[in-house]
Amino acid sequence: MEQKKVLLVDGMALLFRGYFATAVHGNYMYNKEGIPTNGVHGFTKHMLKAVESFTPTHVVCCWDLGSRTFRTELYPAYKGNRSAPEEQMVPQFAMAREITDGFGIPSIDAVNYEADDCLGTLACAYAEEAEVYILTGDQDMLQLANQKIQIAIMKKGQGNYQLYNEDTVKELKGCHPDQLIDIKALMGDTSDNYPGVKGIGEKTALKLIQEYQTIEGVLDNLAHLPAGQRRKIEAELEMLHLSRTLAAIRCDAPVSLPLEQAAWQADEKTAGDTLTRLGLNISIEQLMMGSR
């Protein structure tokens, strides 16, 4: 029996990567309707290259629905430092979903949750019967890595990935994957705009978790910490616990999809017609050559 292999795609990560690869040079690649296509052009190439690289039997793409989630309800400043998408980007969100539809790839999202939570929920569910690869550019996803779930972090250029499983995270990050959550709780995350414990940086956070294993272990041993560290943590206990909640990818989001409905069996004509209708100048024959 063929080993099932699932590729879970972080749709927003691919779309934004495709967009900024050319937008930084002012190249938006308009179609005949005058709609920019640079983001979806890059998105499509990244997605198909990953299918070629990982040869999955099943593919699913997960998406954010907007900026409001349970995390912004808990902490309104969460990701509040991020600017709104550029106007050239806006119409490409819907186009990207049309492309996944054209390739027969299910799109998954959930109100009040991020794409990360959808990816985490599906990864944990599918890992019971298949190898799982999560394609993303987000290092936060490393907390999900284990022997059945590998995280493929996109690097510069198409088809260039850093693969992480449980052992790789331990080797390169110095901790178990799920300890990354507690490290983020201590140090915060400037990208997602939550502070953690003020004055505790990445090196100190890693050292504390390596020594005491968990946030609870750190708190149980406050008396053994240097006075400065102890005061900082005691002054920020509420934010420490909140930051851990914000950092943790949920694996219980209200999403599900029977694995058989995600089988990779793209039809070249349907996919090609979709790309043509959207005005993308991409050769479907070339894209599909190594992606069956």
CA distance 146 to 126: 13
CA distance 108 to 4: 20
The pLDDT score that the predictor gives to residue 92 is: 96
Q: What is the mean pLDDT of residues 87-110?
A: 96
The mean predicted confidence, pLDDT, of the chain is 94
Quick: pLDDT tens for 131-174: 999 999 999 999 999 999 999 999 987 778 999 999 999 999 99
pTM (2 d.p.): 0.94
Enumerate domains of the chain plus CATH numbers.
5-171+255-285 (3.40.50.1010), 179-247 (1.10.150.20)
Q: Are 251 and 121 in contact (CB under 8 A)?
A: yes
The pLDDT score that the predictor gives to residue 292 is: 46
Quick: pLDDT tens for 39-73: 999 999 999 999 999 999 999 999 999 889 999 99
- 176 exposure class (CB count in 10 Å sphere: 0-12, 13-18, 19+): middle
pLDDT at 289 over 90: no
Quick: pLDDT tens for 170-228: 999 999 999 999 999 999 999 999 999 999 999 999 999 999 999 999 999 999 999 99
Which is nearest to 202 in space by CA: 219, 220, 189? 189
From the CB of residue 281, how many other CB atoms can be counted at a distance below 10 Å? 10
Q: Are 270 and 104 in contact (CB under 8 A)?
A: yes
Q: Are 35 and 88 in contact (CB under 8 A)?
A: no
Extended beta strands in the chain, E state: 5-10, 58-62, 107-108, 131-136, 149-154, 161-164
| Contacts for 140 with CB less than 8 Å, ≥ 6 apart | 116, 180, 184, 189, 247, 249
pLDDT grade for 287, boundaries at 50, 70 and 90: low
Q: Are 187 and 196 in contact (CB under 8 A)?
A: yes
| Contacts for 48 with CB less than 8 Å, ≥ 6 apart | 287, 288, 291
The pLDDT score that the predictor gives to residue 286 is: 53
